Amino acid sequence: MGPAIHIRRAEAQDAPVLVELCCHLGYQVTLAQVHQHLERHGPEAGHCLLVALLEGAAVGWLEVALRAALESGTWAEISGLVVHPSHQGKGVGRALVLEARAWARSQGLARLRVRTRTERERTSGFYEGLGFRLSKQQRIYDLDL
């Protein structure tokens, strides 16, 4: 059994490691963008940005938020999950998802959703192993403003 995984809400001092972890998933974000995001969503009730710590070092993060649609009701949705490659397979992602699930329940929600890119086959298997089931496939279109 390895070291204990500690999960807590992200704080301003986590910004540099959040930037680094985003890069591992292929997203280029700046320190300023992360600070702005943390300020915008700080203690907000419908939003939670979690950090996973192993031996005091941040090795992963997960973002979950309340979502609502007229036709679908209200649910919690994981919008991002990253674990440093050297710590994958150690239970970090699982611990983050379990904490997101607990957060969703504390918000009175009965459903937790996540979207994954189709080419990330390992990711699909990870979520299915945690009990998620495929409910829909779709295309996403963006319009730059």
pLDDT per residue as tens digits for the range 40-64: 887 667 899 999 999 889 999 999 9
Distances (CA, A) of 50 to 11, 44, 61: 9, 13, 5
Percent of the chain with pLDDT over 70: 97
Does the reported pTM lie above 0.95?
A: no
Number of Cβ within a 10 Å radius of residue 106: 10
Domains and their CATH numbers in the chain:
5-129 (3.40.630.30)
Per-residue confidence (pLDDT) for residue 99, from 0 to 100: 96
Is 70 exceeded by the pLDDT of residue 36? yes
